Structure 1
Amino acid sequence: QPGEWLLYTVIVSHSGEYQVRVRAASASINQSILHFEIDGVNVTGNVTIPNTGGWQSWTTVYSRTFKLDSGVHFVKMCIDSGGCNLNKFYILPPNASPLINLIFPNGGEIFVPDSVVEIKWKSQLVDRVMVGFSPSGVGNWTLVQDSVTAKFGVYRWLVPNIVSSTCRLLVMSENDRSVSDTCQTFFIQVTTGVNNNIETAKGYLLEQNFPNPFNPSTSIVYSVPKDTFVTLEVYDVTGRRVATLVRNFVLAGTHSVLFKGDDLASGVYLYRFESDNFQKTNKMVLTK
């Protein structure tokens, strides 16, 4: 209703040109008008929501473009006249298109049959996704879940009771199958001594550090499916070891380690994870 407003805090990663895309519905006789303020400044002017023919008949309207610097900002949506149902709004570059980026698995992981793995992705301009699985890695996708809310970015998957070294997962837009992403091949295999209780069992994994690039510190997350010995070390591009983050016996589960690069020069570094027969190396970038 006129006079109502909503306030949000947003983090902008890159400075540049942006616009607001609003998905709304209205059965008002007159058009509804709203505007968006960023840090107290009206950056969009009037954004008009037409009569869409029903309170659940959704349409997307676009604001004019505006400049936005990187950092933390306060966004206020204000209703000026009329009335509408607001489904969602995005603040995106004008040329932004639907996108899905599958983050985990990303290839090389080892999962245990009947364990539970969290499939993770990032998306933009996608409402719902489908998740598929291929044990051969070359297609023949089996539908795992047909409708998952995209913005949550995670789906808990029960690993099938098979053994394969060429498994792949797919995350695809429910409305546009050209918008999708697949991971590199990973393993499903039986590992001696692992508790296969679906509430507790996990695969060996090494996640991408966050944030990346970083300055001066970043977090590295890894998981092991049983109590075991773990080594996690950091190397520069010449192969010189610059830090040993973990070199001891750890309990089963997910662990997070903070790496500090205060005394290191800017550049690419490699962090290597070893546990039992599982090994994996990821890259990270230190920028100062």
Structure 2
Amino acid sequence: MCKTNFSTIIVLILSLLICNKSKAQWSQVTDMPTARNAHAVGMVNGKIYAVGGEQANSRTLEDYDPITDTWTAREDMLTARSFLTCNVVNQKIYAIGGYNTSQSQSTVPAVEEYNPATDTWETKSPMPEARWGHGTAVIDEKIYVIAGARNWPINRLYNDVKVYDPVLNTWTTKSSVSIKRWGVSCCVVDGKIYVIGGYNGTGISTVEVYDPESDSWTTKSPLPTPRWGHTTSVVNGKIYVIGGAEVYPPTEALSLVEEYDPVTDSWTPKAPMPVGRIAHAPSSVSIDGKIYLVGGGGLESTDVYSEVFVFKPCDFWIVSAGISSKNILPNGDSLKIAAQIENPENHQLNVFAVVNGEENVNQDSIQLFENGLDDVGTVSSSLWSGEKWFSSLPEDVYSIEFSLNASRHLLPFNIHCTSAGPIIIESYSVVNINNTTVGLGDFTLRNNGSVKTIRNVKAKLKTENSCVTEIYLNNTSFGDIGPGESKTEQFGFAFYHSCSGLVEFELEISSNGIVYWRDSLTIDLSPTDVENEISNQPKDYVLEQNFPNPFNPTTSISYSIPKQSHVNLKVFDVLGNEIAEIVNEEKPIGTFEIEFDASNLVSGIYFYKLRAGGFVETKKMIFLK
């Protein structure tokens, strides 16, 4: 079993603290029935209403009751749309603007009023100029609509401010914000509107504040992380900016949370979300000091989520945590767990690490104690640690959660360990392709466990020796490996080198993307052991005649490639229509054979074409039932 010195964990925790000065916790409640992105939410009488969304230009409306943790379907909105906003005035919800690809004018000017008491919608006076991706805020029972964009691709950006009066059903204009943008978010503190971030070709960090009494704007300290597609909510007079993306198209869905204090005009990083979300401005609300983040999206328009996360600024919090090993022995082993906990008001805490199996079944728990000692006797007033000896532990994959005073705390990262396996290297062969290129063929991994099938096994070859210049065939997939079973990949790994002598390599072995095991191998790369060319390696590209031919219903097709190439092998009918693509992947040097099954085809003449490197060749085959 691979052991990690517990002091290493302590150092890791303390270093993470520098980057993650959080004073909050995340939890999760019941998912929405409908996954949504680019939707809007509003709160009436303690219930959260989610409406619209990008998928299928949704009209659906659902409400969530935090007390019962349940969702209920309500009457559909009249106009399907996404990138809209929702605001509440006099216990009624106003859905404003948005985008609808099914309409000739894709940008929607519509304003519709929803009455939760009667579960009905009513059309109101539309916006003077249609827009989407705008921000909205309510002051003195009037809705301020700020910035936004028109059409897609965008042909106009806005920086104007339009004000809707629900009582009079009229629109007026106020002083414009300085920057034209879309993907902006707005909120209200002490009767002033804060307009935060957005996008206009680049991520915007600007924060501008509107005073309705003077109809004027001022600039405040910029957002630390420029972003668009974020959401903002207010708790105890402080603004929380959550999620979003820095660039468009997005390269990362941010999990960052940043808190703004209007009194000191300063920003503070807070506990990040458990996952990144491009949530869009009106997708969160605050209730009883908690922020509910509802649904949201990811990097692609097809990334749409139904999860509901709850963010609560609190008096004590977990900064980060670690474990002594990801691999524990099922027939007897200890597990050490440490957590960095901030508790500035010195609350009495009961801290447990909860060990759950893969099916989320509670297996055990470990109590953590303050001022825990690490392996070298270091004391930290904010370090909590615990250790438990497991005399036996069922073969499984375990996740670690934390409970503080019986309240579950979600972390922005996952902690896993396993008693399954281990997965080890069973055998491999070294293929000296030439004096600078080596392949590891017939690479076999074995599951040494006796009960648990280990899912989605992948292996990655690593070395710290600089004479290995590139590992170009790596991160090899072995699929699922059952207990006591072995899996072999014909072409496991390959690398370029300028080495002489023995070279140490490490194999990282993962399951479902989490590295649990490491194994080592030593390869002799001495020049005397390397042949310039192996006699049975192909010298040219060759496409062989299929065999048998004619055939019914299967035949074998062989081909050879003299160097690593991207190989594409397709089958066509006599009219040139593509029937099947049977190979489309990177292949190393070698000779390959693949079986083609024509069971679903009619008898006749077919052609198969090979493309590899600059080589192209076509051959004919005959299928006779």
The two structures have a TM-score, normalised by structure 2, of 0.17
Q: Which structure has the higher relative contact order (CA within 8 Å, separation 6+)?
A: 1
Max Rg structure: 2
Of Structure 1 and Structure 2, which has the larger fraction of its residues in strand?
Answer: 1
